[in-house]
A and B are shown apart, each in its own frame.
Chain A
Amino acid sequence: MSVPERAARCGAILFTDLVGFTAYTDMHGDLAAVDVLDRQSSLVAAAIGGGGRIVKELGDGLMLWFDELDTGLSSTQAILESVAEARDAADFPLSVRMGMHVGDVIERGDDIVGHAVNIAARVADLAGPGELLVTDEVLRSLDDSGNAAAFRPVGPTRVKGVAEPIWLHRLAT
């Protein structure tokens, strides 16, 4: 069997996660939970416009891909603002937390796979409600743009399979 050649693409991977979704589902039921997931998808899709794409849903979270880091960051800020506005208007019940990493991925149909994807998922796990955490690699990629000043250091974390610790930063709000 021949293995098709696949080229790696470099870009930004973003994971979103709904804070308290399990407890919300337990209290309000499956139908209400599905409504929340649908609402999250529509809020995120509207916020990113054509700047990126939702790769797939993962439980109560989304995985997104951006060809350009700058676009990814501006879209992420738009998502945070959009969710905050919806919550203020009692139009969305939960907070969203997010994690971003940049790196190479392999496209597999509409999906993307690679170690960078695993790292981005781990980063999102450590974010608080309404917070964006990014890796050192994201910040290093921003050095020339001046956007790095908007981030504050958080600390190092370990990811299975990665020898070196991964340093995290949060978007200051």
Chain B
Amino acid sequence: MTDDAPARFGYRPIMVPTSETAVSTVRVTTESAAVHVTADADLHTVVAERLPMVVDQSTATIDSTSTSVDLRVPEGMDLVIGTSSGRVQITGSVGSVAVVTTSGKVEIDDAASLDVRTNSGRVIVANSRGEARVISGSGKVEIDHCGAADVTTTSGRIVLRDVAGTARAHCASGKVDITMAGAHDVGAETVSGRISISLPEGTRALIDTLSAGTVAVAGEHDCVVTARSGSGKVDVSTR
């Protein structure tokens, strides 16, 4: 559907031209709904079908009681989403993303940065160009690429790949797997759960683990890797 597409299902979608209103942030709050946001490079409006939208200066706010929220936004739009339950899916390239949900899977394609909090939902992120901060109760957190990472779960596994900044992972009972893209500091902690950290070849890391103690490197070090597991194995390696 284009910006001036005809109405579907007998009604016309609400469209807010972002160039006229300078909308840079879309806020969505729902009680229990699946939220799907699609960023489109060719789009210059926020398109919200069958949804009440209020625009105040640079922010468009949608407070919906619908069971499904489907939005189309221009690329680079900042998103703030709050829902009690329901899947949150963000497709395409967006700006900063903030999601707070009680339960429901959260999937994010490409964000400038993100802050996701969920009590019991899996979180899957393909790319965060900046910091990725995720706090989850019982869901697995999986990030394919990010800048700095700060991830906490109570009982969900943490998998961070291609981390291009400082990495922090905290898990009460679950495995932590971190693959670093560069020589950045790493802090990983589990109460019970294995920790595996992979560093790029040639990284001179000062490694601090309970089992091995502090492993000094000759000369200068590039980064500090601290790993603490109450009962799990800790493995720090280069590739």
Contact = CB atoms under 8 A, between A and B. Distances in A.
Interface residues of A, number: 24
Nearest to B85: A158
Return the 4 tightest CB-CB contacts between A and B, nearest first: A156-B82, A20-B172, A155-B98, A23-B191
Interface in B124-172: 133, 135, 150, 152, 154-155, 170, 172
A153 B59 CA distance: 14
Contacts of B152: 19, 128-129
A20 B170 CA distance: 9
B191 A156 contact: no
B80 interface: yes
Interface string B187-229: 0000110000000000000000000000000000000000000
Given A19-B172, A27-B230, A155 B154 contact: no
A110 interface: no
B80 A20 contact: no
A155 B135 contact: no
B89 interface: no
B119 interface: yes
B115 interface: yes
Interface string A22-61: 1110111000000000000000000000000000000000
Contact of B100 (A94, A126, A128): A126
Contact of A23 (B80, B133, B192): B192
Given A155-B117, A158-B102, A23 B173 contact: yes
A58 to B, nearest CB: 17
A138 interface: no
Interface string B178-193: 0000000000000110
Contact of B191 (A27, A154, A165): A27
B230 to A, nearest CB: 5
Number of chain B interface residues as a range = 20 to 34
A128 B192 contact: no
B116 to A, nearest CB: 9
A162 B95 CA distance: 29
Contacts of B117: 126, 128, 154-155, 157
A81 interface: no
Interface of B: 27, 29, 31, 63, 80-84, 98-100, 102, 115, 117, 119, 133, 135, 150, 152, 154-155, 170, 172-173, 191-192, 230-231
B192 A156 contact: no
Contact of A158 (B29, B99, B133, B172): B29
Given A19-B172, A156-B81, 5 more contacts: A20-B173, A22-B173, A154-B100, A155-B82, A155-B117
Interface string A141-158: 000000000000111111
Most buried by B among A20, A27, A125: A20
A102 B88 CA distance: 30
Interface in A97-138: 125-129
A127 B29 CA distance: 19
Nearest to B151: A128
Contact of A22 (B29, B80, B172): B172
A77 interface: no
Contact of B135 (A22, A126, A158): A126
A117 to B, nearest CB: 19
